[in-house]
Amino acid sequence: MTAAIIAPPRKESPLLFEELTWREFKAVEQLLDRPGYRLSFLDGVLEIKLMPGEPHETVKERIGALLELYLLMAGFDFTPTGSMTLESETGKVKREADKSYKLAPGRRLPDLAIEIVFSSGGINQLEAYKRLKIKEVWFWEDGLLEVYHL
């Protein structure tokens, strides 16, 4: 068996726009409602990223495949929810995970969010997930997986 090596692309910084209201954010979101952009929002800061490329998607799908195989073998009744949009106007937050999962039936929100990081800077993603009441977040960056239980 040969180990798969994924060459890391150059880390790009997202565009950040500060001091926006929720209403202004929603207006910008409608203007940029087209393929190729991913928008996040936290405490008045709008983050705009270009959609990720092949290395990002490869890592995301491999982690998802391994996790789903484990969940199936362990007998979990789980639901993959993909990059489901999560937002809260009162929490002043909007985020889309790269992958997310409900780990038991009847859940309204995902229990687990997975982020594949090929960028630098931006909003505090961990704080965003905390406000969205996501119980566990995994961050993959530079070949390391960090697990946070919120």
Mean pLDDT rounded to a whole number for the chain? 91
Closest by CA position to 130, among listed 64, 86, 99: 86
- The percentage of residues in the chain with a pLDDT greater than 70, rounded to a whole number, is 93
Q: What are phi and psi of 11, to 5 degrees?
A: -75, 130
Closest by CA position to 128, among listed 62, 38, 60: 38
CB-based burial, 95-115: b 16+ in 10 Å, e otherwise:
bbbbbbbbeeeeeeebbbbbb
Confidence of residue 146 (pLDDT cuts 50, 70, 90): very high
What pLDDT does 9 receive? 53
Residue 26 CA, distance from chain mean position: 19
Relative to beta strand 37-42, strand 93-96 is: antiparallel
Confidence of residue 1 (pLDDT cuts 50, 70, 90): low
**How much is the pTM?**
0.86
Residues 56-104 pLDDT 10s: 999 999 999 999 999 999 999 999 999 999 999 999 999 999 999 999 9
